[in-house]
Amino acid sequence: MEATKLSLKLLIDKNGNKVLFAEAGKEVVDLLFNLLSLPLGTVIRLLSKKEMVGCLANLYESIEDLNETYIQPNQQKDSLLKPVLPISVGPVPLFLLNDEPATKFFYRCARGCSQNSGMPFGCTSAGNVSGYVSDDPSAVCPNCSQKMSSVMTYVAPPVANKGSVDEGGFVKGVVTYMVMDDLVVKPMSTISSITMLNKFNVKEIGALEEKVVDFGMDEGLKLLKASFQSKTVLSDVFLGIKRA
């Protein structure tokens, strides 16, 4: 399967050898904003432990090396090493690692006790019946004192209709967005473009160059890494500029 490829239109100041800003569509902005939803464990795996600055990679490796004997019975290493994004957050396609999600089990007691007067757990016309649930099979039911060892069946929510008006993602796709060199993002307009040129004190229009660049997995990883280290991310990634 071909890797996802997006594109950016850069406005480059050739005299200053820097990116002033980039024009980006909804897909790129969704990706940039969704970087904030990536768990640290995922970031470390994406960048690789050797590429990480500081000591977080050591914490990651410590969990990898920790013997299962020291881990609680209702916990799994992969919950930290290969964390799953919260349900409310959409996936970041460019950074998917094709992991099999860690299976999470929930349990109830064998009698199926509810919180209401010992009624059986399950569908009922009486309503308001809420059963006791645990993620540890050794937990004890507060109603019948039996172990909560019966595995429950998880029912996934319905898949959104692809024909839905909802276009998904975080931002709307009816406008073009401006992404600054330091990753400040805002809706783009003619006025905002002129304002930016004035802000950067651009005197020679001939010194400006437009350049369309691909934005794939490699560029995404470079951008993710640079965002921890630099205030000139777009220049660093797409012009190969490394500033002090």
Residue 134 and residue 231 in one domain: no
Provide the CA 77 distance to its chain's centre, in angstroms.
19
End-to-end alpha carbon distance in the chain: 39
Domain that holds residue 143: 106-153
Total count of domains within the chain: 2
Percentage of the chain beyond pLDDT 70 is 76
Residue 203 and residue 220 in one domain: yes
* H/E element, 45: helix 40-47
Parts of the chain with a pLDDT under 70: 1-4, 85-104, 112-130, 156-167, 241-244
Residue 92 and residue 209 in one domain: yes
The reply to whether 52 falls in a domain is no
Residue 182 and residue 228 in one domain: yes
Residue 26 and residue 111 in one domain: no
Q: Whole-angstrom Cα distance, residue 240 to residue 221?
A: 14
Q: What is the pLDDT of residues 181-203, one digit of tens each?
A: 999 999 998 888 888 888 888 77
145-to-69, 107, 110, 141, 157 alpha-carbon distances in Å: 27, 14, 11, 5, 32
The reply to whether 186 falls in a domain is yes
Residue 206 and residue 122 in one domain: no
148-to-105, 111, 129, 216 alpha-carbon distances in Å: 12, 9, 18, 47
Judged on CB neighbours under 10 Å (0-12, 13-18, 19+), 181 is buried
The 3-state DSSP composition of the chain as helix, strand, coil percent (nearest 5) reads 30, 15, 55
The reply to whether 71 falls in a domain is no
The reply to whether 17 falls in a domain is yes
The reply to whether 164 falls in a domain is no
Residue 132 and residue 183 in one domain: no
Residue 125 and residue 93 in one domain: no
Beta-strand ranges (E) seen in 74-146 are 107-108
Residue 19 and residue 93 in one domain: yes
Residue 89 and residue 191 in one domain: yes
Residue 21 and residue 116 in one domain: no
The reply to whether 27 falls in a domain is yes
Residue 134 bridge partners (DSSP): 107
- Would you state the pLDDT for residue 118? 46
Please check whether residue 38 is in contact with residue 45, taking contact to mean a CB–CB distance below 8 angstroms. Answer: no
Residue 206 and residue 91 in one domain: yes
Q: What is the pLDDT of residues 14-45, one digit of tens each?
A: 888 899 999 999 989 988 988 888 888 888 88
- Would you state the pLDDT for residue 24? 93
Q: Whole-angstrom Cα distance, residue 107 to residue 148?
A: 6
The reply to whether 166 falls in a domain is no
The reply to whether 189 falls in a domain is yes
Read off the pTM.
Answer: 0.67
Q: Which residue has the tokens 């399950």?
A: 122
